[in-house]
Homo-oligomer: A and B are copies of this chain.
Amino acid sequence: MTLSTLHTGSRRWALAEGYIPSWSNGPEPELESHETCCMLNTNDEDAAVTLTLYFEDREPVGPYQVTVPARRSLHLRFNDLKEPEAVPRGVAFATVIDSDRPIVVQHTRLDSRQAANSIMTTIAHPLSAPGWARPRSGRCRCRGVHTPDTPRA
């Protein structure tokens, strides 16, 4: 396997679902209802990450800034975000995650509003090309013979 067929994630991810349940049952912090953005940075350099939250009835809020250190994971609870503003409870939102280095993002919620908690998870949706992809705009280095996929200037 060559380097070109392995990669360390994507630089932009999206979550269309987001919601911090308004109340909880059970001991904190484990069983407090929460919404989490789990991030993995396998690179040897820190990743500077920004989150932008999209709501149903107002302009996006952000950037929320966080660092995922080199060779570390980070389970970031939306509950804990404070700047530029706290995330309201019981309100629907969505999130775009941007990173200056490739990372992997997974979304998890714990909902303990009733007597027994419930959990859900999904890998987020990558919005940038993985390392093995051939970008559509790849310029050809031919000697004037052709330019695949993009019109000649």
Residues of A whose CB lies within 8 Å of any CB of B are 1-9, 11-12, 14-19, 21-22, 25-26, 30-31, 36, 38-42, 54-57, 59-60, 71-75, 90, 92-94, 96, 103-109, 111-143, 145-152
For residue A38, which residues in chain B have a CB less than 8 angstroms away from its CB? 16-17, 92, 94
Main DSSP-derived SS at the A contact region: loop
For the complex with contacts A16-B103, A134-B134, A143-B145, 4 further pairs of A-B residues with Cβ separation under 8 Å are A9-B125, A26-B114, A54-B71, A114-B116
Docked pose: A128 CA to B38 CA in angstroms: 20
From the candidates B31, B42, B130, B150, name the one contacting A113 in the complex (CB within 8 A): B31
Least CB distance from A121 to B in Å reads 4
Q: Tell me if A148 and B143 are in contact (CB < 8 A).
A: no
Q: Tell me if B148 and A138 are in contact (CB < 8 A).
A: yes
Q: Which residue of B lies closest to A107 (CB)?
A: B121
Q: Tell me if A109 and B123 are in contact (CB < 8 A).
A: no
For residue A116, which residues in chain B have a CB less than 8 angstroms away from its CB? 114-118
